[in-house]
Amino acid sequence: MELEGSVALITGGGTGLGREIALQLGAEGMQLAVSYSRSRDEAEATVRELTQIGVEAVAVQADLRTSDGPARLVEEVSQHFGRLDLLIHNAGTTRFIPFSDLDSVTEEIWDELFTVNTRSAFFLAKAAAPLMRRNGGGQVIATSSIAGLSAAGSSIPYAVSKAALIHLTKCLASALAPDIRVNSVAPGLLMTRWVAGFPEKRLQAMSDAALLKKPTDVSDVAAAFVMLAKNTSMTGQVIVVDAGLLKA
């Protein structure tokens, strides 16, 4: 896909990995809608950075937990840009609960994590597909996690929601082909505010356990999104970028 002049929507685009993806896509000449739920200041700061390098960008608030949140978000992008070529579902949430602590996992936690991490990805893609097809198609890329590929992670509901997101990637790739491609990137340990709930000892242990003996570079993960955005021959795929934490 030709990135220059195309339009991308990034949920969770104001902080951490989302911000880095936005900056790298902006450097490629894309126009960007940076979506946020609560991090308004950070999203607007990311938009200012993008505009300083000549990128047309806008910050858009959306609560993906609501029934109409995904559709309203896509409609706002349509009204502002008139098109959508790339949807990146990067919004996510978790709870830090040891796997053995089953009593702390409530129905409310299950519902919230699946709503944000998995269900909203489906309804965003459903809302975005008609808009993409008006201009010949596009691509959806979801941020999954190596927690969806192994029995590990911040909590059981989080790991299962990411496993479901990975399967959703494959299902949507089939449903939206041939004019819309759907892929996913599964990062390892990223040293962003996301891991603030992990004890320092656990973070060090995870770094030591990786084959490359370090956390995953955020810029390297973002570069995988850019690669997928450009590629026209991949769909239904999950790209792992984790410094070798998920061993073969």
CA separation for the pair 35, 165 (Å, rounded) = 19
**What was the pLDDT predicted at 15?**
92
Beta bridge partners of 36: 61
CA 19 and chain centroid, separation: 11
Query: In Å, how far are 84, 210, 212, 225, 244 from 247, measured between CA atoms?
Result: 36, 8, 11, 22, 6
Q: What is the pLDDT of residue 92?
A: 93
pTM to 2 decimals?
A: 0.95
Q: What is the pLDDT of residue 175?
A: 98
**Among 36, 123, 158, 225, which one carries the catalytic annotation?**
158
Per-residue pLDDT of the chain (248 residues; tens, 9 = 90+): 899 999 999 999 999 999 999 999 999 999 999 999 888 999 999 999 999 999 999 999 999 999 899 999 999 999 999 999 999 999 999 999 999 999 999 999 999 999 999 999 999 999 999 999 999 999 999 999 999 999 988 999 999 999 999 999 999 999 999 999 999 999 998 988 777 667 788 889 889 999 999 999 999 999 999 999 999 999 999 999 999 999 75
pLDDT of residue 197: 67
Alpha-carbon span 188 to 243, nearest angstrom: 7
**Whole-number Cα distances in Å, 135 to 3, 86, 111, 130:** 14, 12, 35, 9
Helix (H) or strand (E) holding 110: helix 107-114
Rounded CA gap, 116 and 111, in Å? 9
Task: Report all structural domains of the chain as residue ranges with CATH numbers, in order of start.
Answer: 7-241 (3.40.50.720)
- 158 belongs to the catalytic site: yes
pLDDT for 195 = 72
Sign of CA dihedral 19, 23, 25, 30: positive
Whole-number pLDDT of residue 17: 96
